Amino acid sequence: MSDTSHSFITETPLGKPLDGKDLHATDDKNQIAAYFDQRASDWDDHQHPHTEIIQQILDNAEITAGKRILDIACGTGIMFPYYLERGVADITGVDISAGMLDVARSKFADNSSIHLLQADAEKDAIGTGYDVIMIYNAWPHFLEPQKFIDKLSTLLVPGGILAVAHGLGRETLNGVHQRGAKGVSNRLISSTELANMFDQDLLVYKVVDNAHMYQVCGMKN
């Protein structure tokens, strides 16, 4: 795919120094799972999602009624109510952390359209035939990004969308991870770098990288 497909919005200035330059996640997935297991019980207490930004992220990913959603690294299900408000057909939430999924189950036990799976999304089978795959506030925790994108593209229906998004600017996010999640987080790469990875498998149609949010969206032909 060509870079000419990219629609850039308020790109972070090139060469701007970022916090978190030495971030490097462990290659031990058990350590990553344990990190989030330990934080699961009070995770929601520390989450303050910005509804306007989340709605923009969902609009960019074309999440609308009737679609099948795969939410990777879904955690406690922070995004689930926003999907449900849009009338999606069903949601598959995948996370490596059993603790996070236990909290999600307690919150959404009565909703038959939500299916939860504990898995290493980079290696395990996580279903197929999805309209949208969303990775929200989680991209720096994956270890082999190009291979992962290659895999996820095969799980989409034709015209399906892969979206990687963060509800914080890149500099802010890298700083947060440097201070509190250094051992389980890689540096969040520039949107240009990520878009170029998407280009191997998908048509990139939306790239946002500003002080408030970060998102790359690609569509399967």
Domains and their CATH numbers in the chain: 3-219 (3.40.50.150)
How many Cα atoms are found within 13 Å in the side-chain-facing hemisphere of 171?
Answer: 11
Sole residue written with tokens 């990190």:
35
Contact 13, 210 (CB under 8 A): no
Helix locations, the chain, DSSP H: 29-39, 51-60, 80-85, 98-108, 145-154, 170-180, 191-198
pLDDT tens, residue by residue, 159-191: 999 999 999 888 877 666 665 565 667 778 899
At 85 the pLDDT is: 98
What are the Cα distances from residue 122, in Å, to 42, 45, 95, 164? Answer: 26, 28, 11, 15
How many Cα atoms are found within 13 Å in the side-chain-facing hemisphere of 206?
Answer: 19
**Which is nearest to 215 in space by CA: 60, 86, 69, 85?**
60
Sole residue written with tokens 């009070």:
42
As a whole number of Å, the end-to-end CA separation of the chain is 11
Burial zone of 163 (CB within 10 Å; 0-12 exposed, 13-18 middle, 19+ buried) = buried
* Amino acid letter, 114: I
Tell me the pLDDT of the chain (221 aa) as tens digits: 444 455 444 344 333 444 445 556 667 788 888 888 998 998 888 888 889 999 999 999 999 999 999 999 999 999 999 999 999 999 999 999 999 999 999 999 999 999 999 999 999 999 999 999 999 998 988 989 999 999 999 999 999 999 999 998 888 776 666 655 656 677 788 999 999 999 999 999 999 999 999 999 999 99
At 12 the pLDDT is: 41
